[in-house]
Structure 1
Amino acid sequence: MDDFHTHFIPPEVITWLKDNQTIVNAKWINKDDGKDPFLTINEKWGFELKKGFIEGEYYLAEQEKAGVSHSLISPIPQLFLYDFSEDITTEMATLYNQALANWTNKTPQKLSALGTVPLANPEKAAQVLNHAMHLGLKGVIIGPGLSNHMLSDDFFIPFFEEANRLHAIIFIHPLLCEDPRLKRRMMPNLIGVPWETTVCATDLLLSGLIDRYPNIKILFAHGGGFMPYQIGRQDKGYEQWKLVSSNLKAPPSEYLKRFWYDSVLWNQESLEFLINTVGEDKVVPGSDYPFDLCVWPPESKNNLGAISLLG
């Protein structure tokens, strides 16, 4: 089985974080609870820095133990660094991409990778994407937009034009939702994360972007958030309102089948619903390893989605 949603931090990136600790406000916090250190960046996202994140041999051993034959590795969202200057974000992206290429190119039968880009500058992001794919990476992982720009905005045209030319995989991974109503009971992660994907995915679908850039392979994390479950509401809106239908050549439910979705849903009935809605060839196995809410080993009935995404 393949795993299309998994994360890793190469040693070179850890070294960079220590060397630039003050600039990005990186903190390693020991909680005296028997767990690994807790890493935070710029007082935002924090997570336990488990061995699976930073030790390559351990990662490969766990992969084999779980029966995963091939993993598509992504940078962690905490290190997109979109809040920092273009120079810092580009430096991190260039280092991260090179380090992942160095590792995965040594064991291509077991590993491949996506890179990261300085998304706040779409022209630079296009250049970094091009370089990453020339290194052997399959595409990039990006957030669901910026605080002042949705991904469907014309602002991102240079990036999507290059991704389309390169037939790149663009894995859209949410960042934690900052809705003040969610500041309790782990709701930023429980519902904020899939909500961010829902907003981004719905906007991209209704924008008709996939018609303009048909060669891009867009993969949504966590089963596409809530969008597949509410696609009937979008179809009804398509019938009722020009604001919904004006950019589309078919109902939203048809566009839904032109994207890819991972299987990180933690519920077999939800996964079966997703497969029945978008098709077996559009759902790829994923785990979100080694984050706390990972599905390990990944769940999937087949590898049809993996074949279609990489093909």
Structure 2
Amino acid sequence: MKIDAFCHLLPRAYADRLFAIDDSPVARNIQKRVSGVPALVDMDVRFGFMDEFGSDYRQIINTAAPPLEDLGPVERTTELARIANDGMAELVADHPDRFAGFCAAVSLDDVEAAIAEAERAFDQLGAVGVQIYTHHHGGPMDQERFFPFYEAVAKRGDKMIQVHPCRDSSWPDYKTEERSKFEMWWTLGWEYDLAAFMSRLVFAGIFERLPDIKILMHHGGAMIPHFAGRVGPGWDQLGARTPENQREDITGYPLTKRPIEYFKKFYVDTAYFGAGDAMRTAIKFFGVDRTLFGSDTPFDPEKGPGYTRSTIANLEEMEILTDDDREAIYHGNVTGLLGL
């Protein structure tokens, strides 16, 4: 059994509503992107490539970026969340041999409404988790106003939060420029965003305050495992590089462990796009028990099976893994985590 824990699609009704938006540059951009990836909407196309991986391959689905908050006023984004979640629930119910579950969409423009929608998705629709993004209108996700949302998910025990990056070209590579070039905002910026999200939550005390919270980071925890020396002994010296008049910049929630120990409490997927050495580093950092098989389907150059195929190949050839380790990563961990 292989349960792909981080896959994207757009339920038909949600896609139709998305394509009807004509007053949002973000919506226009995703409309163009979706048009080039038919497996996001066309389930016949999707099931066709899924067949390559056998009858024991299933996906946990969520909606593709961008964040709902970027698609218009709060009334619209709240409506979009309901349409998306109803659509994903229907797909899971109609195709249990294809989909093992879904993570709900929410709009955090209204935190109380987001909590209500997440609870509706959990209780009425059977969602296994909820997806959020690394920013909220460009702002950090460790703001205190978001903690009631984190708490609402954490107390459910068997639900997870999936975290997806969301930077775009409006984030320049250099202070002297207006836009990011060569899609560096995606290739490099998304990985920085994931690492920054993790760091801000660690220093906000997320795991001290909510020890039972389950957070799945996309792309294997991004930069964190590859900079373990800076995250470890480097951050053990927090404050050594900060002048006295900026001490508020390093004042966070009082932590009782080394910062690096909190980073290892995140769960991560294997969406490394075929970069086996990078995946090996992430697995060694976070551990087999915190690693879930996830491919980022269907955004590979083939628009469907490519990343799934390369991820499986990486795991099969990785010499540090036993057969039991592979079973845990493929399905055992996510099954236990979510009570599937």
Same fold at TM > 0.5: yes
CA contact (8 A) 2:22 2:28 kept: no
Bigger Cα displacement from structure 2, 179-188 vs 47-56: 179-188
Task: Tell me the equivalent position of 2:244.
Answer: none
Decide whether aligned partners of structure 1 residues 78 and 209 sit closer, same or farther in structure 2, where only a CA change above 3 A counts.
same
Q: Deviations over 1:43-63 (max 9, x none)?
A: 578514322111123212321
Measure, in 2, the Cα distance between the counterparts of 1:149 and 1:187. Answer: 20
Measure, in 2, the Cα distance between the counterparts of 1:72 and 1:271. Answer: 20
Measure, in 2, the Cα distance between the counterparts of 1:95 and 1:41. Answer: 16
Q: Secondary structure at the match of 1:223?
A: helix
Measure, in 1, the Cα distance between the counterparts of 2:184 and 2:31. Answer: 14
Which of residues 156, 162, 165 is equivalent to 1:166?
A: 156
Measure, in 1, the Cα distance between the counterparts of 2:114 and 2:308. Answer: 32
Q: Deviations over 1:83-129 (max 9, x none)?
A: 52110110000000011001102233431111110112111111111
Measure, in 2, the Cα distance between the counterparts of 1:62 and 1:282. Answer: 28
Which of residues 16, 32, 41 is equivalent to 1:54?
A: 41
Q: Deviations over 1:219-275 (max 9, x none)?
A: 111111101212321222443236378532211222122111111113111111111
Measure, in 2, the Cα distance between the counterparts of 1:282 and 1:46. Answer: 35
Bigger Cα displacement from structure 2, 118-127 vs 159-168: 159-168
User: Taking structure 2 as the reference length, what is the TM-score of the superposition?
Assistant: 0.80
Deviation of residue 11 (structure 1)? 1.1
Task: Structure 1 unaligned segments of length 5 or more: list them.
Answer: 26-39
Measure, in 2, the Cα distance between the counterparts of 1:203 and 1:275. Answer: 22
Deviation of residue 197 (structure 1)? 0.7
**1:205 is matched by which residue type in structure 2?**
V
Which of residues 97, 103, 122 is equivalent to 2:85?
A: 97
CA contact (8 A) 1:90 1:117 kept: yes
- RMSD across aligned positions (CA): 2.3
Task: Tell me the equivalent position of 1:127.
Answer: 116
CA contact (8 A) 1:176 1:192 kept: yes
Task: Tell me the equivalent position of 2:98.
Answer: 110
Q: Secondary structure at the match of 1:78?
A: coil
CA contact (8 A) 1:114 1:137 kept: yes
Which of residues 198, 201, 217 is equivalent to 1:201?
A: 198
**2:9 is matched by which residue type in structure 1?**
F
Task: Tell me the equivalent position of 2:3.
Answer: 2
Q: Secondary structure at the match of 1:41?
A: helix
Measure, in 1, the Cα distance between the counterparts of 2:224 and 2:53. Answer: 30
Fraction of identical pairs, as percent: 23
Measure, in 1, the Cα distance between the counterparts of 2:171 and 2:70. Answer: 19
Measure, in 2, the Cα distance between the counterparts of 1:296 and 1:148. Answer: 31
Task: Tell me the equivalent position of 2:322.
Answer: none
Are 2:63 and 1:72 aligned? no
